[in-house]
Copies of this chain bind each other. A is one copy, B any other.
């Protein structure tokens, strides 16, 4: 009995906590870390300001936590798409697609990671570095495997992965700035996949 009630309470609490975090992501993504106020967040979540400090120690901690969580979500989603395929062509293509999907349907995720809180919170600098590092490694892995398999010639896979990460980010941000980005998604995926394959001197069959 006490179990169940506790569970319910926990769930309720978690629900409210989650709601506030979603509100925070929205506000941080829209305004950036500094311009976003705690009052903005609690207003968006429709709770009192005191409630914020019951659930989170302070604004900065929440932001860093959100950044990490969002980064995890993005990286894992792409990673999963990449891992689910064996062939380099499809690994790239599906990975890019996964990234684009998130960008289009959860733009706040991309805003938060790429725009929201850069160069602002000291304790975030390391997190950002880690995120970029993981993102680079994410693209590097299929490349290394492809080199091992002889599918592409030997090359500085690390640098190429960096270039990929930057290229994908920019193209996606440009896409998001356009009206109705979802209509152009398919073309972008194809463009980026072919771009990538050419850039690494892939000689097999294009998609």
Q: A residues within 8 Å of B by Cβ?
A: 31-35, 111, 115-121, 129, 132, 136, 156, 159-160, 162-171, 173-174, 177, 188, 191-192, 195-196, 198-201
Contacts and interface: CB of A to CB of B under 8 A. Distances in A.
- The main secondary structure of chain A at its interface with chain B is helix
Nearest to A170: B166
Copies of this chain in the oligomer: 4
Pairs of residues from A and B, 5 with the lowest C-beta to C-beta distance, nearest first? A166-B170, A34-B34, A32-B119, A163-B167, A199-B199
B169 A170 contact: yes
Nearest to A184: B159
16 contacts: A31-B120, A32-B34, A33-B34, A115-B119, A116-B119, A118-B118, A129-B177, A132-B170, A156-B191, A159-B171, A159-B192, A163-B192, A163-B195, A166-B171, A167-B170, A198-B199
A31 B170 contact: no
Nearest to A121: B35
Contact of A170 (B32, B163, B177): B163
Contacts of A196: 199
A170 B168 CA distance: 10
B162 A164 contact: no
A195 B119 contact: no
B34 A120 contact: yes
B120 A35 contact: yes
A119 B159 contact: no
Contacts of A129: 177
B32 A35 contact: no
A168 B165 CA distance: 10
Nearest to A4: B48
A105 to B, nearest CB: 20
